[in-house]
Amino acid sequence: MTSDVKQERKTVLIIEDEDNLLAPLTYNLEREGYRVVTATDGGEGLELAREESPSLVILDIMLPTMDGIQVCRVLRSESGVPILMLTAKGEELDKVLGLEMGADDYMTKPFSMRELLARVKAMLRRTELSPASTDGNAGGVITSGDLSIDVEARKVSLGGVPVKLKPKEFELLTLFAGHPGKAFTRDDILDKIWGGKDNIDRRTVDVHVRWIRQKLGEGDGAPRRIITIRGHGYRFEG
């Protein structure tokens, strides 16, 4: 609880061109203890994201130079940083929600600041699941053979080649790789990654494991890091 690392402030990047939103967002997030960096257009936001490696990005859709949808796509292709989209009513919500976009959550304007802060907190909590970032080793890299997971930067590579994982895939792989040899039930995993098992099908876990295996080149017949334990769940073998 009192380690220096825990007290280190997380950086939130806000990309929003409306000052009447940017100012209160900045104020409230700083008051919650976050370090806040801001950009007022898409291109600048993307540059800042690369420079600052923020823990979370709040991203408006309607932006000068490059809209939030493009920014989201590029960001997602480069890192697994959690992205909270801000949308106006009637804006391309279908695109925001579409899987290919890769945003983790969205809020429709006008929204309550309290609700936004709660979402930010929840999103950041989900990224803290791995022991590498909770045991005082923030910025830690988990390695297993040629697999490397940079927990803080949310980047995964295999033999030095970047692997693009969606946020939930990243969190799941980090959970597994952070606990090699530990058996997880599907319910454990739903609790830890999806925040509960009540409204989610257990097969969601299986589908995500399949996607991760494919992305790690561990499809049918190939040796696997994530082992299926019949009648139980999964285990990561380093």
Closest approach of Cβ 58 to Ca ion, in Å?
A: 12
**Taking CB positions, which residue lies at the least distance from Ca ion?**
62
Count residues binding Ca ion (CB under 5 A): 3
Applying CB under 5 A, which of residues 11, 17, 53, 235 lies at the interface with Ca ion? 17
Closest approach of Cβ 63 to Ca ion, in Å?
A: 6
Complex with Ca ion: residue 60 or 104, whichever CB lies closer: 60
Complex with Ca ion: residue 17 or 206, whichever CB lies closer: 17
The residue among 111, 51, 107 whose CA lies nearest residue 75 is 51
Cβ atoms of residues 149 and 143 within 8 Å: yes
Q: Segment near Ca ion (CB under 5 A), from 15-23, 47-55, 162-170, 210-218? A: 15-23
Q: Tell whether residue 21 is a contact of Ca ion (CB under 5 A).
A: no
Closest approach of Cβ 5 to Ca ion, in Å?
A: 35
Give residues 47-106 in contact with Ca ion (rule: CB under 5 A): 60, 62
- Quick one: tokens of 231? 């009648």
Which string of DSSP letters, residue by residue, matches 99-124?
TTT--SEEEEES--HHHHHHHHHHHH
Q: Segment near Ca ion (CB under 5 A), from 9-17, 46-54, 127-135, 226-234? A: 9-17
Q: How far apart are CA 238 and CA 222, in angstroms?
A: 15
Cβ atoms of residues 181 and 236 within 8 Å: yes
Alpha helices in 12-128 (DSSP H): 19-31, 42-52, 68-78, 93-97, 113-127
Complex with Ca ion: residue 9 or 109, whichever CB lies closer: 109
Q: Segment near Ca ion (CB under 5 A), from 14-22, 170-178, 184-192, 204-212? A: 14-22
Using CA atoms, how far residue 161 sits from 147, 164, 211, 226, in Å, is: 9, 10, 17, 19
Cis peptide upstream of residue 110 (ω within 30 degrees of 0): yes
Q: Segment near Ca ion (CB under 5 A), from 10-18, 108-116, 176-184, 213-221? A: 10-18
Complex with Ca ion: residue 60 or 150, whichever CB lies closer: 60
Complex with Ca ion: residue 71 or 212, whichever CB lies closer: 71
The residue among 111, 18, 12 whose CA lies nearest residue 64 is 18
Complex with Ca ion: residue 41 or 188, whichever CB lies closer: 41
Sequence-separated (6 or more) residues with CB below 8 Å from residue 118 = none
- Amino acid identity for residue 17 in this structure: D
Closest approach of Cβ 62 to Ca ion, in Å?
A: 4
Complex with Ca ion: residue 62 or 117, whichever CB lies closer: 62
Q: Contact residues for Ca ion (CB under 5 A)?
A: 17, 60, 62
